[in-house]
Amino acid sequence: MPIDISPARKPLNRLLSLLLLAVGLLGLHLGWQTMADSVETQSWPYVEGTVIESHLAPWTLGGYRPFITYRFDVNDHTYYGRSFYASHFRHLPIPTRKMGEKLLAPFSSGASVNVYFNPADPQHCLVEPCFAWWGIFPLFGGTLLLLAGGFNLRKRDARDT
């Protein structure tokens, strides 16, 4: 038996549908941008840089977060970077200290590292170019929310006719 939505609840139902659509679009944009940025960084040029500092810090929600600071020169100008990856999610926690130490092992203070940089703006740099596979999560979630919002709007419009 279908649920009949009273006239007083119809605006709320429409608002919910529009909210689902908006959040779905945001998820699609975030996921697409994350993966596109990571693909772009794989073609960036690199120079040799020097690690100034690296360490692990406990994350409040559990796990550890790696921190790194490095210095590099491009066109006689010195830059400082702090990013491992090119991604909106580059600060996801690492589950165990052992995994974090393994990640930071090549980045001890004073170590030489390849620093990949955006030739148009060398301040955008990183030391680990990789494909951001985790961008699939907001893409998938955004798609589900878009479908839910669109289905809800379509169902409401079908009931109104």
Select the more confidently predicted residue: 156 or 45.
Answer: 45
pLDDT bracket for residue 71 (50, 70, 90)? very high
pTM: 0.64
pLDDT bracket for residue 83 (50, 70, 90)? confident
User: Taking the CA atoms of the chain, what radius of gyration do you get in angstroms?
Assistant: 22
What mean pLDDT do residues 64-71 have? 90
Whole-number Å distance between alpha carbons of 35 and 71: 26
What mean pLDDT do residues 1-7 have? 52
- Residues 97-113 pLDDT 10s: 898 888 888 899 999 99
